Structure formats: C-alpha cells, structure tokens
A and B are shown apart, each in its own frame.
Chain A
C-alpha cells in the first residue's frame, strides 16, 4: 500500500510542488498566476511535441534525459517518503542515493558539453562547481546523524529526536537548514539560480538544457522536480513522527511538501539572486551548518 502511494507521489507531487512555488511567486508579485497543475499540463504538452536536435550532438545528448530520469527514479527507492518507509532499505543506502544522483549529474554535465555551445559549457562548469561543495556537506550531515543513531540507513533521520535528548531540537533545525539549502541548490532555485530568467549568461541549470526539446526537456524537468521532492522528503523523515496511521502520515507528508514549496516560493520572491561569485559562499553555508550538526553530535555522544 505504502509503495503504491509512494509511486503515486513520485508521479504527481513534483509537478504540484513546482506549481505551488510558481503560484506563491505570483501571489507575492500581485498576480493571479497559472494554475498549480500547469507544470503537469506543460509536461504533457512537451511529451507530444516534435524534437529539434542539434547536428553537433552525439548519442550522449540523446541518452541523457533517459539516464537522468531513470537514475532519479532509482534513487527514489532509497528515500523515505510516506510513513518514512523506504522501498529498498539496505545499510548505507544513502551512499547509493547520493552517487546515483551524482551519476545523473555527470550525464547532465557531459550532455551540456556535447552541444558544443559556449553557454552550456559555462553552465556545466558552474553546476559542477556547486556540486563539489554540496556533496561533502551532505555526507557530513548524514554521517553525523548515523553516528548518533547507530543506524546506517535513511531511517536514522527519523530517530534523531529519540537519540539526541536535549540536543534534539537543535540538531533537527540545523539538519533541516542544510537540506533546505541543498534543495535550493539542486533544484536550481533563487538565490542560487533563477529558473524564470531568459538571460543565458546568468543561468546555471536552464542553460545546460537549452538544446533539449520536446520529451527530452519534459523528462529533464520532471527529474529535477523529483530530485527536489526527494530532498524535501528527507526533511519529512526528520519532522513527521513515525508511528502514525497511513492516512495521517500521507496527509502530513503532503502538507509538508506544500509548506516547503510555499517557503521556497517566498524565499524566491523576497530575495534577489546572489551574484555568481558569491553563490559559492552561500552554498558553503551548508558545510558550516553540517559542521555544527557534527559538533552537536560529538557533544551529545561524548559530553553527556
């Protein structure tokens, strides 16, 4: 039952999250905005369209969208979603999760380079750069929490409160902040990236997919949205209590996704995008926060 629910969530919730983010931005901008189902309609529309493929590209370019989507879908099997249950629950699943995401990132980078466009190369170099900062911080966070709980699966996220005693709230807050910055970075949202801009020179993620069209574009947009939802689910695993009825935990999960989307939309409305040379500093905040989590864990384990 949970598995089916989770699959449905993967199918629809990413689109709705993007829709809610856009609706929130429209609200803050004083507009009505499109329906929250618009990203879903766009997906269907793109799927139906015809391709335009640049002559300079090779098979890598054609394969990438499929590889991206399938690897994201595969990695979703390791992530706790509704009821904080993972479909494949093996020790150190988080490593598989992270490296499959890395694998899809690798393909998106070489696909961008494959087009031979100077813009896309620039976008790829930016994206690669941020990833190198995000990855260690993510591992530091999860390793700290796993050291604390002694459980080497994503389930450890659900047990923070149980194991950390008086430090629980602090650890949770910092862990959520780390994950939130990771969502903004990996989901290409303001202040790291601007998903709404038409200016090639300032883009990061968007510029890498400039040459993709039709269903290729649809698959890539979907996989990025799923990635954002998976990372949000990790926040869900921390916050949502475990031993609830299925209905309640589904409700709470969807509510959380809704809230996270609204928060992302609000951040996007209230902030300008950071200057490219300062984005690194912003992403680095993740590492600092993860270090704080680590030190709190050390304090808890050895300081009593």
Chain B
C-alpha cells in the first residue's frame, strides 16, 4: 500500500504512514489526481527531510496520507505542479522552508520571505503601465502588495506578493499550543481556527466533548459564517458606492456579532471554545433574545439583497466582473466559498462532516455559480441565510433539551509518534490543522492551511481583463486573509 486512509478528525501512527521514494510518490499523486490538502516537510534527523502529503477524496470522505524521504544529498525533484497546477503554492512553500527544489516548477517565487529581492513579472510595450498598490493600504486592512500590469484601464496581469504578516504561527503553536493562540491565526475566522485546533488536540488526547458543547461550537461557527458573509455583502455594496446596502448590512452584521458578544463576551467569539468543550453555556433567556435577533437579521438581509438584485446599476457592476471559470477553479485548486461560486461542489461540512453535522443531517444546497462577483454575492447571501437558519435550529435544540455539562476536563497527554488531522469549514473554506507528535509525546510539527492559501491565485486570475477600477470589488468578493496565508 502506498497510501494510508484516514477520516476527518482521525489520527494515525506516524510509523504506519508509507514512506516512498519521491519519484514514486510523485507518480502516485499524479495517478490519484485528488485535491491536495496538505503538502509539508519536516526535519527527520540526520539532515534528512520527510515530506508528508495529504490528499482529499471528497466523494468518499477519506483523506489519503503518504510520505517521502529526502536524503542529505537529494535537493531537488521533478515538480508536480507542471502536471497538477493546484500544487503550485504547496511546492513553493515546501521549497521556501526546506530548500528542496521542485524542478521545472512554472513559477517558483517567494511565498512569505525575501519579497524585497523579488523581481516582478513585467510586460513590455509602449502603452503598458504598472500600478503598484501596497503593502500598506488605505482603510483598515492587512498588508499585501499588488502589482498590476495595465494597458489603459484594463488589467492584463496581477501579481500578488504576501508574507508581510508572517509571524511564525506554526512554530509558536509547537512551543505554546493554546486556544488563545489558535484564535489569533486569522481574525475573521476565530471560531473556525479555534475549533480546528481544539479538534486536533482532542483527537490526539481522545477527549470527548458533550453533545451540547458540540452544538454550541457549531452554532458559533455558523454565526461566524453568517456575520462575515453579511459584513462582506456590505463591503461589496460600499465598494460600488451603493450606500443603502452598506448601511443595512453593516447594521445587521453588528446584530449577529453582538449576539455572539452575549454568548461569549467577545464579538468575534474569542474565548468561547476551549479544549474539552466550550467555556460558556447559553441559558434560555439568551436563546430567546438570540432567536428574535437572528429572525430580524434574516428578514432584513433577505429584503436588502432582493432590492439590490433588482437595481440595474448594482447588477451592472456585479455581473460578469471578475470571472473565474469552473475549469480554472478546479485546476488551480480553489476551495470553499470561492470554489462553490464557480460551480464546484466543495464543502467540508458535507464532504467531511464531524459528529455534529452528521447529527444535524443538513441537506446540501446546490449553487449554480458562474464564477463572477455576482455569483459570489448571491452565494454569500444564500450561505448567510442557510447559516442563520442552522443557528436558529441549534438554538431551538439547546432551549429545553440536552441539559449537560458543556466542558469536560481535557488534559494534554499527547500520544507518541502520532499524526492527527482536522478539517473545519470556516466561512471562507476548509481550514486544515494537522498536528504531529514525536517519540516523547510532544508536538513536533503543527501545520495550518487556510483557504486563502489556495485562493489568492484565484483572485489574480479573476481580475485579468477587468478594469483596474474593478479590482477592489473583485478583491472584496473573495475577501481573502493575509495573515491566514502568511501565518
């Protein structure tokens, strides 16, 4: 066997993972042709490096894990990207961290380090002009550099340079694993990241979480999804100078996050999820208020979106702007909401459901996306509505039944030589956390993959042949995370 199969929130003995030669692993990956979820190296002693690969088999809800070992003198291999483009950023990351070069990689450029020495791709021609934006931007956003190659108002090429937000989260995670650190990986996916971290650790320690706590966690995750989607609907409205949308969505988003404030003391749900459960139970009084608020939010958002979709000046901005075709999305490996807006059916809530989602047995809602800003706008609306609905269902469940402890004691007694994987569908897409322990039972590697990691290149493709003035709109429709990618 060249692969070992694993379920979401599962763990395996590291020694049971097949170790192949890189040529063989490469062939296997190409033959399987599955979606990469993780592709990372780890120092394996004696100057050797071990490469772990996790591929997602979405149809069968299975993860395929394998590995390859690089000896001291093996410093290159034939790149996988030239056959499967979705590996491009994974191989860039691997090269940057371990110096093992993927040969014939189409574009082996820095990911998080050495941005200063990098020479951007340049177009030549009398009428071509470059527009450099960032790394510091107007408004309250994170740093990232955008280099446009334009002809007049049309963008021919956009290159995105990130890494300014690199904090070494993965290394910090090994030294001081904690829920508070997990919450700080990416500020708009606090719940999702914290949940992924908690699940990985609970899987490693065989810690059980009560049903009520699981429901509260899922409630928080869905409320986060709803809040961010509504906020982004507002941001999209703001970018096209549609004032009414910006105001209504801004106000309704506040209602959702203020409900979260009532639950956890933080508008973004910081401090809510803890190993072994959640820190705060929700009493019936709060549930009643939350149900009222969410119903009002649902109604207001739905009405505003319908009004906007009827407004021709709005539609002319959204339709056919920033298109990513389904084929391209699949090739470059888009994930999450951005992928669904292109017509792919990726959703780890359904592909890799955890106990709670299995229990809720939600129907998968299909979305016929065309990959433009309009599709992303409508999908965000659909998902926000869906999340509010799920939240309300969970609140009803919490109301009178299932009285039990929301937190069990979970001690960090990590097993030896084990690897655990957890995939959580944040609002942006799948958030993957992988933890490896060594022979002493301490964390030796912590790998995080944010959906932005896959999707930034999708944004670069989306703005091609669009007006440069439509870039902010495309950007906002994806709303990717800088720090989630930079880690």
Contact = CB atoms under 8 A, between A and B. Distances in A.
Interface of A: 25, 28-31, 118-119, 121-122, 126, 190-191, 194, 196-202, 268-278
B313 A274 contact: yes
Contacts of A194: 241
Contact of B241 (A121, A197, A200, A201): A197
Interface string B316-344: 11000100000000000000000000000
B139 interface: yes
A25 B472 contact: no
Interface string B7-20: 00000000000000
A205 to B, nearest CB: 13
A278 B316 contact: yes
Interface string B154-169: 0000000000000000
B413 interface: no
Interface string B127-141: 001111100001100
Contact of B313 (A25, A119, A191, A197): A191
Contact of A272 (B130, B138, B242): B242
A126 to B, nearest CB: 8
A201 B131 contact: yes
B316 A202 contact: no
B166 to A, nearest CB: 25
Contacts of B243: 25, 28-29, 268-269
Contacts, number: 86
17 contacts: A118-B131, A118-B132, A191-B241, A197-B239, A198-B139, A201-B469, A201-B472, A268-B243, A269-B243, A271-B242, A272-B237, A272-B311, A272-B314, A272-B317, A273-B240, A273-B242, A275-B470
Interface string B262-286: 0000000000000000000000000
Contacts of B130: 118
Given A28-B244, A29-B243, 15 more contacts: A30-B248, A197-B238, A197-B239, A197-B241, A198-B139, A199-B139, A199-B472, A200-B138, A201-B131, A269-B243, A270-B244, A273-B240, A275-B316, A277-B467, A278-B316
A284 B395 CA distance: 55
A119 B131 contact: yes
A30 B317 contact: no
B97 interface: no
Contacts of A201: 131, 133, 468-469, 471-472
Contacts of B321: 275
Contacts of A122: 131, 153, 468
B247 interface: yes
Interface of B: 129-133, 138-139, 153, 237-244, 246-248, 251, 311, 313-314, 316-317, 321, 467-472
B469 A276 contact: yes
A278 B315 CA distance: 13
Contact of A276 (B153, B239, B244, B311): B153
Contacts of B238: 197
A28 B241 CA distance: 13
A268 B241 contact: yes
List the 9 closest pairs (A to B, CB-CB), nearest first.
Answer: A29-B247, A273-B241, A272-B242, A194-B241, A276-B469, A272-B240, A198-B138, A199-B472, A202-B469
A268 B240 CA distance: 11
A122 to B, nearest CB: 7
A276 B470 contact: yes
